Structure 1
Amino acid sequence: MTNMATDAAPPVRQPNRVQVSTNKKPLQFYLNLSRRIMAEYGEVELSALGLAVSNMVTVAEILKKEGWAVEKSLRTGLETLESEGEQRSMSKPKMEVVLAKSSEFEKLFAEQPPQQHRGPKQSAAAEPVAA
């Protein structure tokens, strides 16, 4: 496994990136958001830390199984997190998957457009990482 943590400046948020959490949003939110992002950008990058990895895998597998997406790349690793005020660090599993529109995407999108999220407008980049 590769350690994805670096000492470099934080990466610039990508508009096609979705950070999946365990309890912030229901899976349907991530499915709809992923479909909207693929419609606009052609691909979506799903990312998760710790316990949220299983939610991210579920979202990715549903999108693939239902014919919306094909897997483009998959990365796994450990994210090293420093604890404030403590001299030890903790590692959490991290997974990222890039999904691209399938050949059936446009047809599916026309038949079943993603539902609009009800509530405050949030971009994918605004989603906090939680595990």
Structure 2
Amino acid sequence: MEAIVILTNSGEMKNVTNINGGDLEKEKKIRIQVSRSKKPLYFYLNLAKKHLKMDYDVELCALGMAIPTVIIIAEILKRNGWGIEKSIMASTIDAKEDKQGRVIPKAKLDILMGKARNADQSADQSTDASTSTEE
């Protein structure tokens, strides 16, 4: 079951459609397609954080040069205890044809983040407490 969620430029949900006709509450997954040049990194970070707080799973997707941006967003979410990584999928897609008719492959990265339920799941557990020594 897959849901299509259209996000406006302000990050609000505009239209929610369920392809298979099932209950949308069971799926609760939002796909955010990250661009390197259209919006700043913190736009996507705040959007992901907002949907994680509403108990949605967030799938961060990127092509080509936007991949480092997705990795940074996922690491910030983990470090601050807002989310955990559920899965990571790397692949290539056929992006477009050049002048000679050849298909140019592009790298694609999908990171599925879920809400961190407690301190044990988050990466927020710093080693500062364990490395402090009493003299």
TM-score range (shorter-chain normalised) is 0.5 to 0.7
Matches within 5 A, 1:10-89: 13-14=4-5, 16-83=30-97, 86-89=100-103
Q: TM-score, normalised by structure 2?
A: 0.63
Comparing 40-49 with 91-100, greater Cα deviation is found at: 40-49
Equivalent AA in structure 2 for residue 102 of structure 1: A
Choose between structure 1 and 2 for higher RCO, CA contacts under 8 A separated by at least 6 residues. 1
Q: What 5-or-longer segments of structure 2 have no aligned partner?
A: 7-29, 120-135
Equivalent AA in structure 2 for residue 56 of structure 1: V
CA contact (8 A) 2:52 2:82 kept: no
Go from structure 1 to structure 2 and tell me whether the alpha carbon gap of 1:33 and 1:78 turns closer, same or farther (over 3 Å shift): same
Q: Distance in 2 between matches of 1:43 and 1:82?
A: 30
What whole-Å deviation, never above 9, does each CA across 1:1-56 have from its counterpart, x for those lacking one? xxxxxxxxxx8634611001111111110111001122234210000000000001
Root-mean-square deviation (Å):
2.2
Equivalent AA in structure 2 for residue 82 of structure 1: K
Q: What 5-or-longer segments of structure 1 have no aligned partner?
A: 1-10, 106-131
Q: TM-score, normalised by structure 1?
A: 0.65
Q: Distance in 2 between matches of 1:65 and 1:17?
A: 21
Secondary structure, counterpart of 1:34 in structure 2: helix
Q: Distance in 1 between matches of 2:77 and 2:61?
A: 15
Q: Distance in 2 between matches of 1:12 and 1:89?
A: 29
- 1:104 shift after superposition: 4.5
CA contact (8 A) 1:68 1:104 kept: no
Q: Distance in 1 between matches of 2:54 and 2:72?
A: 22
CA contact (8 A) 2:55 2:115 kept: no
CA contact (8 A) 1:50 1:92 kept: yes
| Moved beyond 2 Å, runs of 4+ | 11-15, 39-42, 82-86
Count residues in correspondence. 95
Q: Percent identity?
A: 36
